[in-house]
């Protein structure tokens, strides 16, 4: 039983668990050449047949209880009506490149948006069989080895002792600019981590296994669930609006409160070369 009585939290948790089970089974069956790889924004931004199968399964689970509900999914953007101002935002595999290489950081992400705000967020770390859950104004939890545990973010003493996670665009020109920002930041923090899943990076902030995470140019399905989990765990979050997509290099940042203001001063809201201070 989940630690919330919110009915949509149970629905999202069950859908994420079902999708994770499917993904684990498919990954065991396929090799890299047999995953049916296509590409999205660039030749290095893949989508697999398993992404599509996972998204379809999630949509089926969610629509069993609300047949016409709107679903914004990464792979199909699966339509439906905005009945009652409700919409599900789904990333069927966040970290597809990691999934392709069987690198242990990819996740299912499901969020419920109500009237423009995220009310429920679930992120399932598929290889680790660990699930994170948050409900607005109720807190955030982690489910692992059959046990629920409330999570809370860290409290580093200074920016110099802060472990920061980040990610990079699949568009080469934007990666160049992200690299410049990273080089400027690297000497001012403890170290940088790049795991390859925005949803899991936000959950790492929530549980304190990193102190902060930032990235520019994300899509709603990348951050919708994870940003609520981080915020409910006490992180200070700068989150783009849910109509902001990856072609707009807006900032997403989640950070421990003790260093959030200092880190924010180093991060431009919009990633342009002229906005990166070298002071």
Task: Answer yes or no: 91 catalytic.
Answer: yes
Cβ–Cβ under 8 Å, residues 148 and 177: no
Q: Which of these is catalytic: 113, 215, 222, 232?
A: 222
Q: Is residue 93 a known part of a binding site?
A: yes
Q: Which of these is catalytic: 48, 96, 130, 162?
A: 96
Task: Answer yes or no: 14 catalytic.
Answer: no
Q: Which of these is catalytic: 91, 113, 125, 211?
A: 91
Q: Is residue 68 a known part of a binding site?
A: no
Task: Answer yes or no: 74 catalytic.
Answer: yes
Strands 38-39 and 46-47: antiparallel
Q: Which of these is catalytic: 75, 94, 201, 215?
A: 94
* Residue 248: φ, ψ to 5°: -110, 110
Q: Is residue 74 a known part of a binding site?
A: yes
Q: Is residue 94 a known part of a binding site?
A: yes
Q: Which of these is catalytic: 58, 89, 93, 118?
A: 93
Task: Answer yes or no: 201 catalytic.
Answer: no
Q: Which residue carries 């859950």 as its tokens?
A: 133
Task: Answer yes or no: 222 catalytic.
Answer: yes
Q: Which of these is catalytic: 8, 53, 55, 74?
A: 74
Residues in binding site for Mg(2+): 74, 91, 93-94, 222
The binding site consists of: 74, 91, 93-94, 222
Question: Catalytic residues, which ones?
Answer: 74, 91, 93-94, 96, 222
């Amino acid at each position: 039983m989940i630690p919330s009585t919110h009915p949509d939290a149970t629905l999202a948790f069950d859908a994420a668990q079902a999708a994770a089970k499917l993904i684990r089974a498919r990954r065991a069956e396929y090799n890299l050449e047999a995953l049916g790889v296509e590409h999205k924004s660039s030749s290095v931004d893949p989508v697999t047949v398993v992404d599509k199968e996972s998204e379809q399964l999630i949509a089926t689970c969610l629509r069993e209880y609300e047949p016409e509900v709107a679903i914004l999914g990464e792979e199909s953007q699966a339509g439906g009506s905005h009945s009652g101002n409700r919409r599900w935002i789904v990333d069927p595999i966040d970290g597809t490149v990691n999934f392709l290489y069987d690198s242990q950081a990819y996740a299912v992400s499901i969020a419920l948006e109500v009237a423009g705000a995220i009310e429920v967020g679930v992120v399932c770390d598929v290889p680790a069989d660990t699930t994170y859950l948050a409900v607005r104004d109720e807190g955030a939890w982690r489910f692992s080895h059959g046990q629920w545990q409330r999570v809370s973010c860290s409290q580093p003493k200074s920016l110099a002792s802060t472990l920061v996670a980040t990610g990079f665009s699949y568009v080469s020109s934007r990666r160049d600019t992200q690299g410049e920002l990273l080089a400027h930041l690297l000497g001012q923090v403890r170290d940088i981590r790049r795991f390859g899943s925005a949803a899991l990076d936000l959950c790492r902030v929530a549980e304190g296994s990193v102190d902060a995470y930032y990235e520019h140019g994300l899509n709603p399905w990348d951050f919708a669930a994870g940003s609520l989990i981080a915020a409910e765990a006490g992180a200070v979050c700068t989150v783009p609006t849910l109509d902001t997509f990856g072609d707009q290099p807006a900032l997403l940042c989640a950070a421990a409160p003790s260093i959030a203001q200092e880190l924010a001063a180093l991060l431009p809201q919009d990633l342009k070369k002229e906005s990166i201070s070298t002071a």
